A and B are shown apart, each in its own frame.
Chain A
Amino acid sequence: LPAAVLLKDTKLMDVKLGQLGTWLAMRDFTPGGILGAVRRGYNRYYNKYINVRKGGLGGVSMVLAGYVVLSYIWSYSHVKHDRRRKYH
């Protein structure tokens, strides 16, 4: 028998599609948990792209691109009015 790993401990990419709902429900959504998740994500990105000997442009530019996309999404309701259509 393969070693039974708890669903709680599997990573997101290993979760099967049907288990996604259960997996999401088991995550820690307390403020402390969310803070921990943010910190972990930041550390992963930082240690992979920025905290290296010869860092490249990609590390910073990905963050800026993400910022651009996010700000476009947030301002979409305002940009809607510039669409080429007869009736907005």
Chain B
Amino acid sequence: MLSRLVLRAAPAALRALPPPVAVGVLHTTRPLHTTQQSLAPVPPLPEKGGEVRHGLIPEEFFQFLYPKTGVTGPYMLGTGLLLYLLSKEIYVINHETVAAACILTVIVYGVKKFGADVAAFADKLNEEKVATALAMKNEAIQTLQTAIEEEKKEQWRVEGRSYLFDAKRNNIAMLLEANYRERLLMVYNEVKKRLDYQVAMQTLKRQKEQDHMIQWVEKNVVQSITPQQQKESIAKCILDLKALSKSAHAAV
């Protein structure tokens, strides 16, 4: 009963508490999980890099000046800048200039003559690298494909499980049946042996009793035949024989 009082008092006490803060609101200012941060598949490398004119100035500069000054604008700018630097001697001509000129000539000649060959060689190296990687990938895919085929085959084999188990079950049933029949036969033989023994015992006993009784009766009869009786029986027999012979004579 006290428990019922407590149960009645609990909701009233809970209502008396202050209402809790809405727990569904996350107090963050930074949005979570908005970018699609996935590293794969990696986008392929671009074919060619940014265009560079004369090996020194990016093409974007020329495009930047084209609307206002046309095609020759950047070259005019370059010439003007060069003359300004030279005339004001911001760029000083000394022994280093000569050295720089020689070096630049050699470099430009080398690039013009061997550039294509070096590029082809580097491309070939790259191709080989890519080809090995691709071969590995294809091989992996192939192995996985064969694994899938094998797995499907195994799954198909599993379906034949029931036949296998039926065959096994039949085998076992046959074995059990054969065993049972064998034992049955053994039991029958044993029981027959025992019963035959009993029957033989009985017949033997009866036979022995019979023989004994016959012998005993014969012995007694022989004993009881006294000599007197013997003479009388012999005489009777002779008389009978005589009578018979007479009747036989008469018949003939």
A79 interface residue per 8 A CB criterion: yes
Residues of B in contact, count (CB < 8 Å): 22
Complex-state Cα separation, A40 to B65, whole angstroms: 26
Query: In the assembled complex, which residues on chain B have CB atoms less than 8 Å from the CB atom of A79?
Result: 92, 94, 96
Whether A53 contacts B58 in the complex (CB less than 8 A), given A59-B52, A62-B52, A83-B92, comes out as no
B56 interface residue per 8 A CB criterion: yes
Chain B contact surface mostly:
loop
Do residues B48 and A56 form an inter-chain contact, with CB atoms below 8 A? Answer: yes
Nearest CB in chain B to that of A60: its residue? B55
Q: How far is the CB of A57 from chain B (nearest CB, A)?
A: 5
Do residues B111 and A51 form an inter-chain contact, with CB atoms below 8 A? Answer: no
Chain A contact surface mostly:
helix
Q: Which of B75-111 contact A (CB under 8 A)?
A: 89, 91-94, 96, 111
As a 0/1 sequence over residues 41 to 82 of chain B, the CB contacts with chain A under 8 angstroms (1 = contact) are: 000011111111001101000000000000000000000000
A61 interface residue per 8 A CB criterion: yes
Query: In the assembled complex, which residues on chain B have CB atoms less than 8 Å from the CB atom of A23?
Result: none
Complex-state Cα separation, A54 to B126, whole angstroms: 9
Complex-state Cα separation, A85 to B51, whole angstroms: 42
Do residues B56 and A62 form an inter-chain contact, with CB atoms below 8 A? Answer: yes
Do residues A48 and B50 form an inter-chain contact, with CB atoms below 8 A? Answer: yes
Of B49, B93, B111, B115, the residue contacting A55 (CB under 8 A) is: B49
Of B52, B115, B123, the residue contacting A54 (CB under 8 A) is: B123
B225 interface residue per 8 A CB criterion: no
Do residues B94 and A48 form an inter-chain contact, with CB atoms below 8 A? Answer: no
Q: How far is the CB of B179 from chain A (nearest CB, A)?
A: 79
Complex-state Cα separation, A61 to B48, whole angstroms: 16
Q: Which of B107-164 contact A (CB under 8 A)?
A: 111, 115, 119, 123, 126
> Which A residues have a C-beta under 8 Å from some C-beta of B?
48-59, 61-62, 65, 72, 79-80, 82-85
> Which B residues have a C-beta under 8 Å from some C-beta of A?
45-52, 55-56, 58, 89, 91-94, 96, 111, 115, 119, 123, 126
